[in-house]
Amino acid sequence: MDMSLRADIENTLLAAALEAGAAILDIYAAPIEATIKQDGSPVTLADEQAEAIILRHLAPLGLPVVAEESVAAGRIPATSARFILVDPLDGTKEFLSRNGEFTVNIAVIEAGEPVAGVVYAPALGVIYAGAKRGLVLEGKISVWEKIVVRPVPPELTIIGSRSHSSPAEHAFIARLPVASHISAGSSLKFCRLAEGEADLYPRLGRTMEWDIAAGHAVLAAAGGRVCTLDGADMMYGKPGFENPSFIATTGFDWTVL
């Protein structure tokens, strides 16, 4: 990707995330109603409005866009070597519980890799941006700073979901040298790893590519990895856009245990 195109794409992602986040906050300020989709997950007006805003921003780029609510409605574009993944409101359960830990996720995929991503947590007033061969940034909207993963300590801080866990994850964690556990909603788990607050995030269960691609881009730019259980890099553009179980890590090699 040439530098001018990359800058164009990254600026578009930021603008789309910020406008979508503003629309989400308008809805967040009022009573919220949710309906249940066929897969059993909740959806709100905020999901739908945010996605419409993001798609409008992304349209001039001319890239295929795989967006969660569009896919749920049966609108699934043919993807190419370069495409975009969108989760307009990641952490709808966090949104409904009003704990603030929900995000707007937008990622650019190239040859199966997330090469640029934006994670915006509008209720927290913080945005993360990461790009391959570029800086990973954390911002309070107008002030940016570089973030990097921390060195792996002798005992790990494990981060997990507020809304999802499984016996398989508990069994996996029991094998590790663990100092503490923390929780976070949505793709903020990847961002907490990227900014040095935790060391490893295991997710042994179903997720979709739009759930994790933007967080993966941020973490990778900060020096971390997202891998399948055999240690291979997580790739995108898979059949059905569904992920296998994965481990997000700042550098700890769990495969030797």
Tell me which long-range contacts 146-150 makes (C-beta under 8 A, separation of at least 24): 147/194, 147/195, 147/196, 147/222, 148/194, 148/196, 148/222, 148/223, 149/193, 149/194, 149/196, 149/219, 149/222, 149/223, 149/224, 149/250, 149/251, 150/196, 150/199, 150/250
The answer to whether residue 137 scores a pLDDT higher than 70 is no
pLDDT of residue 41: 83
What CATH number should be reported for the domain whose range is 3-146?
A: 3.30.540.10
For 70, the 3-state DSSP assignment is: helix
Residues 37-59: what's their mean pLDDT? Answer: 91
For residue 230, what are the contacts with CB-CB under 8 A and spacing of at least 6? 255
Task: Kindly indicate the confidence band of residue 235, based on its pLDDT and cuts at 50, 70 and 90.
Answer: very high
At 165 the pLDDT is 72
Question: Does residue 124 have a pLDDT over 70?
Answer: yes
User: What whole-number percentage of the chain has pLDDT above 70?
Assistant: 92
Mean confidence (pLDDT) of the chain: 91
In the prediction, which pLDDT does 30 show? 87
Confidence (pTM) = 0.94
pLDDT value of position 224:
95
pLDDT, mean of residues 98-113:
95
Q: According to CATH, what is the number of the domain 156-256? A: 3.40.190.80
Q: What is the pLDDT of residue 143?
A: 66
Domain boundaries, the chain: 3-146, 156-256
